Each structure stands twice: as C-alpha cells, then as structure tokens.
Amino acid sequence: MASTITDVDLRHLRRAISVSVSARANGNHPFGAVLADATGQVVAEAENTVETGRDVTGHAETNLVRIASAQWTPELLASHTLYTSCEPCTMCTGAIFWSGITRIVFALSVEGLMQFFDTRPDAPLHQMASSRLLTPEDGIEVLGPALESEAAKAHKGFWTT
C-alpha cells in the first residue's frame, strides 16, 4: 500500500493550499481540501467554514466528506484521494474513515501548524492528527507532509491576537 507523493499529488495539494487561502479571504480559518477520483480528476473541493457557517465542525475536510458522501458510495470513494492543506484533525480523520476514502495526502503537518499558535481561544490545540490515528490495518494511506512552506503561508499572521 505504501506509495510516494507524485507530481499529480503535488498539483492537487497546491489546489488545496489555494482553497485554504480562499477560506481565509472569506473570513474563515485557513484550511482547504480537494477530492480527486481514481483518474486524478478533481471532483470536489471545500474550504473551512467554521466562522461564516457558525459551525465548529465546518472544517475543510469534514465539509468535503459531507459533499462527497452525499454523491458517492463508500465503495466508489475507496478509489479517491483527499488532498488537504493541513494534516487532518481527529474529527476530520474520523469523517474520512467513515466515508470510505482510502488515501489522504496533506501539506502542512500538525507540528508545522503548531508553530503559529499563541493564546487565541479558537486556535486548534488538539495535536492528535491522522498520521497518528490511522494504521495500515485501517486501509487508509496517509502521505505527508509535502509543500509545508507553501501551505504555511496561509497561516502567517492568522493565529496571532
């Protein structure tokens, strides 16, 4: 199951990073996610909507899973890859697991994200992320970090009060 990050993966990660920049511009936390099918075609994308949606579960990955699971079965989603600007949190990892998606590629690691935190009350302080939660037995491949410096740009100055 172990594979490497490809040029196609990097292109989709850059799109997820772009979506994270859009989320920030729209008044939300800077996180974005993209879903590609088995052929590498992007079929959905979502940004974080925690602030504008007034919903603490409005993370980019969870929003993407909601879109995807409303359209496709877990059996079909098993051939898809979720690309995300930052390593998924515990909640998002659970949603990805239950959706049937079997591959996650992320840009910024949790450790990379933590460098931006201060005492802001809405800063995500839980550090348990997908690479620690999922094992090979779960049938989900987690690859990353990749393009961390690019992904980090969306967070510069955001998490300071």
Contact between 148 and 107 (Cβ < 8 Å): yes
The CA distance from 31 to 14, in Å, is 12
Q: Helix, strand, coil: what percent of the chain each, to 5?
A: 40, 15, 40
- Dig out the tokens for 10 from the structure: 């990097």
Stated length of the chain: 161
The CA distance from 108 to 133, in Å, is 17
Q: For residue 8, with 0-12 CB atoms within 10 Å meaning exposed, 13-18 middle and 19 or more buried, which class applies?
A: middle
Catalytic residue status for 61: yes
Q: Which of 45, 47, 61, 87 is catalytic?
A: 61
The CA distance from 53 to 83, in Å, is 22
Which residues form the catalytic set?
Answer: 61
